[in-house]
C-alpha cells in the first residue's frame, strides 16, 4: 500500500513515517526542505521535495497513492511575525490545493489532521482555518472517504510559556483556573493516525485525540515541580493586556488576535464542548511525562 504524508518530519510526521515504514507500507514524505531528503530516505521512506502551496506538485506526488495524510502549515520560519501575511487565507489555499490534487488523482482515502474547534463557525479564533479546510475537503465527492483527526492543544505549545516564566516568574495567560482541559502529545497523534491507516475507510469520520486532562493550575504545579519551582503560579491577565504584549513584540496582528480569541474560548469552556460530547480514550503520554521534556528545554537556556 502506498501512503503519502504531508508535513515533512515534524513532531508528528517523523514518528508516523517511522511506524508506517516499520509496518511495511511504501511511504512518501513531502517536505519543502531539501536538507530533509537524506533523513527521510534513512527512515526507509521516499522523499518528495516541493511545496504544499504548489497544486501541480501535490497532484504529481499524490498520483498512485492509496492513502494521503494531509496537514497544513506555513513553511516560512517566522511567519507569525510577518505583518503582511493573511494567515487564514494562506492556509485555506493549501486546503484548496489538496482538494484539487485529490480530485485530479482519484484518491479515495484521506486522513486529515484538523483540530479541536474545527466544528465552530465562529469564536474559535486562529483555529478558524481548520474549520475552513474541513469545509473545503467536505466538498469532495461522497466516494472520497475522509477521516478528520481533531487533536486538542499540543503539550509542546507550552514551550511558548518559557520566556514569560523566566521574565515574570509565572505562567501568564488570558485563561486559567481549575477546570480540566485536554492536552495531547504529538506521539499519541502519530499513533492514532497509524491506527486509522489500518482501519476501514467509509464516509466522513471525526475522531478527537487527547493524551491527558488537567487544569491550568494543575499544569503549573506539575511543571513547577519538574523545573524545581513548586510554587509556580498560573496568572490570568486581561485579553487586551496579553494582546498588546504580543503586538509590541512584533507579532502579526491577525494571528495575535486569533490566539487571544481561541484562548478566550478555552477560558469559557466553549472550545471543549464538542470534545466532551465525543470524549475519546486518552493516549499513553501523560502530562507528567511531558513535564520532564519541558524541564529539559527550560533548563537549556
What is the predicted pLDDT for the residue at 170?
97
* Total count of domains within the chain: 1
pLDDT more than 70, % of the chain: 98
Tell me how far apart the alpha carbons of residues 106 and 111 are, in angstroms, rounded to a whole number.
15
pLDDT at position 301:
64
Asked, for residue 178, whether it belongs to a domain, the answer is no
pLDDT digits (tens, 9 = 90+) for 203-223: 999 999 999 999 999 999 999
Taking each continuous run of H as one helix and of E as one strand, the counts in the chain are: 12, 12
What CA–CA distances, in Å, run from 291 to 196, 261, 297? 28, 26, 10
pLDDT greater than 60 at residue 77: no
Interaxial angle between packed helices 128-137 and 87-105, expressed in degrees from 0 to 180 and rounded to the nearest 10: 20
Note whether 189 and 260 are within 8 A (CB). Answer: no
Does residue 233 lie within any of the structural domains? no
Query: For residue 283, is pLDDT > 90?
Result: yes
Asked whether the predicted pLDDT for residue 236 surpasses 90, the reply is: yes
Would you say the C-alpha torsion 244, 246, 250, 256 has a positive or negative sign?
negative
- DSSP per residue over 199-249, as a string? S---SEEEEEEBSEEE-HHHHHHHHHHHTT-TT-EEEE--HHHHHHHHHHT
* Pair 31, 47: CB distance under 8 Å: yes
Q: Express each pLDDT in 9-57 by its tens digit.
A: 999 999 999 999 999 999 999 999 999 999 999 999 999 999 999 999 9
Please give the residue range of the domain that contains residue 58: 2-152+185-209
Identify the pLDDT of residue 277: 97
Q: Do the beta carbons of residue 71 and residue 108 sit within 8 Å?
A: no
Mean pLDDT of 267-275: 95
CATH number of the CATH domain containing 129? 3.40.50.720
Q: Residue 174 falls within a domain, yes or no? A: no
Distance CA 281, CA 274 (A): 15
Q: Percentage of the chain with pLDDT > 90?
A: 94
For residue 18, is it within any domain?
yes
Domain annotation covers residue 78: yes
Average pLDDT, rounded, for the chain: 96
Tell me what pLDDT residue 293 has. 97
**Cα–Cα distance measured from residue 252 to residue 256, given in angstroms and rounded to the nearest whole number:** 6
Q: Which of 275, 267, 9 is nearest to 259 (CA)?
A: 267
Pick the closest to residue 174 from 252, 258, 230 (CA basis): 258
| Cα angle 7, 20, 193; round to 5 | 60
Which residue from 173, 165, 179 is spatially nearest to 239, judged by alpha carbons? Answer: 173
The per-residue pLDDT for range 132-180, each reduced to its tens digit, is 999 999 999 999 999 999 999 999 999 999 999 999 999 999 999 999 9
Q: What's the half-sphere exposure (Cβ side, CA atoms, 13 Å) at 241?
A: 8
Amino acid at each position: 500500500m502506498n501512503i503519502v504524508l504531508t508535513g515533512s518530519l515534524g513532531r508528528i510526521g517523523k514518528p508516523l513515517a517511522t511506524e508506517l515504514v516499520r509496518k511495511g507500507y511504501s511511504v512518501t514524505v513531502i517536505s519543502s526542505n531539501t536538507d530533509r531528503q537524506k533523513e527521510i530516505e534513512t527512515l526507509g521512506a521516499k522523499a518528495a521535495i516541493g511545496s504544499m502551496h504548489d497544486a501541480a506538485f501535490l497532484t504529481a506526488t499524490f498520483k498512485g497513492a492509496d492513502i494521503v495524510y494531509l496537514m497544513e502549515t506555513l513553511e516560512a520560519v517566522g511567519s507569525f511575525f510577518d505583518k503582511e501575511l493573511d494567515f487564514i487565507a494562506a492556509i485555506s489555499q493549501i486546503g484548496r490545493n489538496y482538494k484539487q490534487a485529490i480530485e485530479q488523482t482519484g484518491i479515495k482515502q484521506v486522513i486529515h489532521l484538523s483540530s479541536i474547534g474545527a466544528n465552530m463557525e465562529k469564536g474559535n479564533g486562529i483555529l478558524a482555518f481548520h474549520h475552513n479546510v474541513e469545509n473545503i475537503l467536505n466538498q469532495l465527492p461522497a466516494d472520497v472517504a475522509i477521516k478528520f483527526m481533531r487533536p486538542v492543544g499540543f503539550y509542546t505549545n507550552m514551550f511558548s510559556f518559557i520566556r514569560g516564566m523566566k521574565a515574570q516568574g509565572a505562567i501568564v495567560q488570558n485563561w486559567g483556573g481549575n477546570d480540566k482541559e485536554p492536552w495531547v502529545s504529538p506521539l499519541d497523534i502519530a499513533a492514532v493516525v497509524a491506527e486509522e491507516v489500518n482501519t476501514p475507510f467509509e464516509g466522513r469520520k471525526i475522531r478527537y485525540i487527547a493524551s491527558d486532562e488537567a487544569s491550568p493550575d494543575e499544569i503549573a504545579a506539575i511543571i513547577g515541580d519538574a523545573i524545581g519551582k513548586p510554587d509556580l503560579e498560573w496568572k490570568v491577565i486581561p485579553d487586551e493586556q496579553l494582546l498588546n504584549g504580543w503586538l509590541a513584540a512584533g507579532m502579526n496582528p491577525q494571528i495575535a488576535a486569533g490566539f487571544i480569541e481561541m484562548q478566550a474560548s478555552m477560558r469559557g469552556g466553549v472550545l471543549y464542548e464538542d470534545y466532551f460530547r465525543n470524549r475519546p480514550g486518552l493516549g499513553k503520554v501523560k502530562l507528567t511525562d511531558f513535564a520532564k521534556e519541558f524541564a529539559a528545554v527550560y533548563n537549556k537556556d
